[in-house]
Chain A
Amino acid sequence: DAGVIQSPRHEVTEMGQEVTLRCKPISGHDYLFWYRQTMMRGLELLIYFNNNVPIDDSGMPEDRFSAKMPNASFSTLKIQPSEPRDSAVYFCASSLVAGGYYEQYFGPGTRLTVT
């Protein structure tokens, strides 16, 4: 299995620009999670989906952030407009709710730098 795939791996953009991060979960998984990791705040859950439907977006910092999952094999996290404080590593994770373990498999992350 290819694991969770994220693109791009690195993104450098200027303040005010739109940024789109992409994620392909593991085939057959029914949950997808977006996290943000910074030195100051650690790992934060932004939003998660079940069967392509957003379940909890209470972690999305503000209206500049939006996430979609148009189908079971693709999700995007968009920031518009971007700000320097959005600089972080963004992780996507997926899981299959079976067996009672619900372990999450993480992608390699996208390192976003907003200048």
Chain B
Amino acid sequence: GDSVTQMEGPVTLSEEAFLTINCTYTATGYPSLFWYVQYPGEGLQLLLKATKADDKGSNKGFEATYRKETTSFHLEKGSVQVSDSAVYFCALRGSNYKLTFGKGTLLTVNP
């Protein structure tokens, strides 16, 4: 079945540091890939998405590239801010309409 593996946290960075959160997946066919973000006490919000190989999703300074050859969708940001502190979830949508989520990575950014 479909599965998503993302790096376990927590990740703690200083403001303006570079962020990478690794995500790899297993799926049949050609899944769509997503990153969701969850701020404390809130539901998940879609951060960015990519629907086919080599697509790059981007939003709010975050980027991720759909790499079919390595089955990866790593999240990056060049300079994190305190306001980026949240839990980040990698997810895929396979041949049905269900999303399969990774376990989430807690990011804390210190001033």
A interface residues, Cβ below 8 angstroms from B: 4, 31, 33, 42-43, 45, 48, 50, 56, 91, 93, 95, 97, 100-109
Q: Which residue of B lies closest to A104 (CB)?
A: B99
Question: Can you give 27 contacting A-B residue pairs, CB < 8 Å?
Answer: A31-B97, A33-B99, A42-B101, A42-B103, A42-B104, A43-B44, A43-B89, A45-B98, A45-B99, A48-B97, A56-B96, A56-B98, A91-B43, A93-B43, A100-B32, A101-B49, A102-B32, A102-B93, A102-B97, A103-B34, A104-B46, A104-B99, A106-B36, A106-B43, A106-B44, A107-B43, A109-B43
- Contact between chains at B104 and A95 (CB < 8 Å): no
CA distance A42 to B36 in the complex (A): 14
Q: Which chain A positions have C-beta within 8 A of B96?
A: 56
**Minimum CB–CB distance for B79 against chain A, Å:** 26
Q: Which chain B positions have C-beta within 8 A of A109?
A: 42-43
Which of A42, A50, A103 is in CB contact (< 8 Å) with B46? Answer: A103
Which of B49, B97, B104 is in CB contact (< 8 Å) with A43? Answer: B104
The 7 closest A-B pairs by CB, nearest first: A106-B43, A106-B44, A42-B103, A43-B101, A108-B43, A103-B46, A109-B43
**Minimum CB–CB distance for B65 against chain A, Å:** 17
Residues 45 to 75 of chain B near chain A (Cβ within 8 Å): 45-46, 49, 51
Which of A45, A48, A91, A100 is in CB contact (< 8 Å) with B44? Answer: A91
Q: Which residue of A lies closest to B89 (CB)?
A: A43
CA distance A105 to B96 in the complex (A): 17
Q: Which chain B positions have C-beta within 8 A of A42?
A: 101-104
